[in-house]
Amino acid sequence: MAKERSALARSSGRRQRYEGMLDHHKAPQIDRLFVISLRHKYAYCPVSKVANSSIKTFLFEAELMASGYSPQQVDFSRLRMHELLNTPLIRPFQLPRKMLQRVMFGEDFRRIVAVRHPVDRMLSCFLDRVKKEKSNPSNVVKAAMGREDIDSITFAEFVDVVAGQEIRDMDPHWRPVYYEAMMDKVTYRDVLRFEELATALPSLVEELYPRLAGRIDFARNLSPSITGAGERVREFVTPELRTKIEKIYAKDFETFGYQ
């Protein structure tokens, strides 16, 4: 009973802290949804399959270097940049409710998100996460289809699984960016396009951390799995599948102007 009361108390506390933010997410997902610099007054919303590993690593390095540390003092390789507690930036669960509301909705904080063509992102998710045995996305798809062999599941079947889900039940790896980033509630100053990150990301980081200009190597691709999804669309996406994807990601196509 004591453990149950403790779990209920944590759940209630999360709901209060994240009031107004739970339409499209389960409360534990909000814990890791943003990384926040109180010193430099910005919040970045990490979106899976949109250069998330690289962007987070560059921001972590910048925060450390701006504080007098060398990036070599903290190793963000081997996916450690995704560990909940392995970051020099703040996570939402660490902030009191009023402060979090200020970060998410106040005018004095800059909010940043990166977006990607929905077809490329969904295919990248399939190739990298769904086809990766024992990953959570793989387990979700296998359970939805009642299958144990992930190798036998096709991209078309994956699209059908996602099409049958409610937004709130979607895995963050394929939830539409519009809803993952809560763009119906949160106003973003910077919406970076995956296709333009080579120039847009260095400019942004050096604007956030002007003393570090030229000191970070942005040419590194820190993705743990490079799928080349953008070049493989014709291999996997039929006109029928394209229509289904457009329906799932209608808000992303509309909001970010993808064709």
- Distance between terminal CA atoms of the chain? 54
The beta strand positions in the chain, using DSSP E, are 35-37, 42-45, 110-115, 190-193
Q: Is 35 helix (H, G, I), strand (E, B) or coil?
A: strand
Mean pLDDT, rounded, of the chain: 89
pLDDT given for residue 246 in this prediction: 98
* Model confidence, pTM: 0.89
Domain ranges of the chain: 33-256
Task: Write out pLDDT tens, residues 83-114.
Answer: 766 788 999 999 999 999 999 999 999 999 99
pLDDT given for residue 226 in this prediction: 62
pLDDT given for residue 7 in this prediction: 52
pLDDT given for residue 81 in this prediction: 67
pLDDT given for residue 75 in this prediction: 62
Beta strand pairing call for 42-45 and 190-193: unpaired
Task: Write out pLDDT tens, residues 27-52.
Answer: 899 998 999 999 999 999 999 999 99
pLDDT given for residue 93 in this prediction: 93
